[in-house]
């Protein structure tokens, strides 16, 4: 079974706290006591089974953006922006979108322990980038949407 790094889940926890007790209670209501305790104990360096990561993403989107069909995407953009810190934040503002896109594929191994992400196509004007993932067929739909939003959040910093 593939795993996903806990970094974004720590950001999700912080976002729940920032939005207030109603968001936290909505999230908690979607988990068993054991599931909630596991979510609360995730560290940035933790490896989480990918199916559990997908369930966390779905629940967090419902808690943070109730009734919003774009909740996962919006939450992922927040995580993408939050995860670009330190020396990378000023650099991302000066580098071209196609260059960043080509490097973003390399970030895959930081966040996922299986599979490979490759840039398949870059529009010559840098308007869009197409990625492809191989070797990790178990990615839940919610995490596939999350990955897209995460990358979009990073690009918004440019």
Residue 134 belongs to what domain range?
Answer: 3-155
Tell me the pTM. 0.85
Give the whole-number percent of the chain exceeding pLDDT 90: 50
List the CATH number of the domain containing 86.
Answer: 3.90.1520
Give the residue from 72, 82, 134, 127 showing the smallest Cα distance to 101: 127
Structure tokens at 122: 């870059």
Domains: count for the chain: 1
CA distances (Å), origin 158, targets 3, 11, 48, 96: 29, 21, 30, 8
H runs (alpha helix) in 68-157: 71-82, 88-94, 97-104, 108-111, 141-155
64-100 confidence digits (pLDDT tens): 999 999 999 999 999 988 887 766 677 777 777 677 7
């Amino acid at each position: 079974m593939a795993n996903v790094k806990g970094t974004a889940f720590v950001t999700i926890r912080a976002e729940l706290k920032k939005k207030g007790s109603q968001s936290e209670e909505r999230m908690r209501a979607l988990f068993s006591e054991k599931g909630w305790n596991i979510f609360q104990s995730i560290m940035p360096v933790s490896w989480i089974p990918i199916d559990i990561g997908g369930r966390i993403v779905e629940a967090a989107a419902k808690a943070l953006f109730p009734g919003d069909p774009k909740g996962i995407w919006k939450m992922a953009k927040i995580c993408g922006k939050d995860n670009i810190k330190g020396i990378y934040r000023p650099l991302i503002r000066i580098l071209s979108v196609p260059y960043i896109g080509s490097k973003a594929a390399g970030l895959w191994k930081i966040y996922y322990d299986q599979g490979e992400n490759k840039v398949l196509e870059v529009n010559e004007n840098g308007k869009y980038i197409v990625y492809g993932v191989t070797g990790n067929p178990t990615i839940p739909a919610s995490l596939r949407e999350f990955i897209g939003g995460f990358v979009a959040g990073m690009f918004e910093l440019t």
